[in-house]
Structures are given as structure tokens and as C-alpha cells.
Amino acid sequence: MKKEINIILGQRVKELRKQKGYTREAFAEALSVSPRFLANVESGEAGVSLSNLKSISLLLKVPTDYLIGISNPEDTDLSRQLAINKIDSIDDKYLCCVNTFLDCIIDVTKT
């Protein structure tokens, strides 16, 4: 039987890994684990050690409490970090559009 914490962890790792543009194989290699083990983690079949949790957190640039379901994407600091992660994954040729869009949002919120 899958543990709820492993399911949450797996879903969040998979989502963030894809957002960052990692293949399962590349991410597993960066963690020094097998792609099969990572697949088991992402499906909620397996948990991770604390050292692997720390490595995942550092690679994905999110707090460990988010990965294990303690904090939610609505939390201000986490929302900011997730937005930064998304911006970091945008192709450089589109960053000028993103900057223009963000400037518009900032201008609207100032009024």
C-alpha cells in the first residue's frame, strides 16, 4: 500500500522535474540513483532517504517541506520560488516578453 507522503512527494518531484526540463534519466543521474528507482519514487511506490530528499530539494530549488506536502503552492515564499523556477526554465529568446508582461502586472498592481 502506498503511503500518502510518498504519493505527494512523487507527484511534486515529477511535476517539478518536468518543469525544469530534466528527463527522468538525467535527473536520476544527477541524484546518483537509478532511473527505475526514480520512477518508483515518482509513482509513490518508494520513499527517499533524507540525503536524497535534500539533493532533490537542491536540484529543484524548492524547500523540502513543499516536497513532502507540509507547505502548499499558495504559500507566499513558495509561490515566489515556483514562479522563479518557471521563469528560469523559459528559453532566453522569450525572456523579453516575460519581462514586459511582468512589468505590466507590476504597473497594474501599483494603481
pLDDT digits 0-9 by tens, 40-73: 999 999 999 999 999 999 999 888 999 999 887 6
pTM, rounded to two decimals:
0.70
3-class SS letters over the chain: CCCHHHHHHHHHHHHHHHHCCCCHHHHHHHHCCCHHHHHHHHCCCCCCCHHHHHHHHHHHCCCHHHHCCCCCCCCHHHHHHHHHHHHHCCCHHHHHHHHHHHHHHHHHHHC
pLDDT confidence band for 111 (50 / 70 / 90): low
Domains of the chain: 4-110 (1.10.260.40)
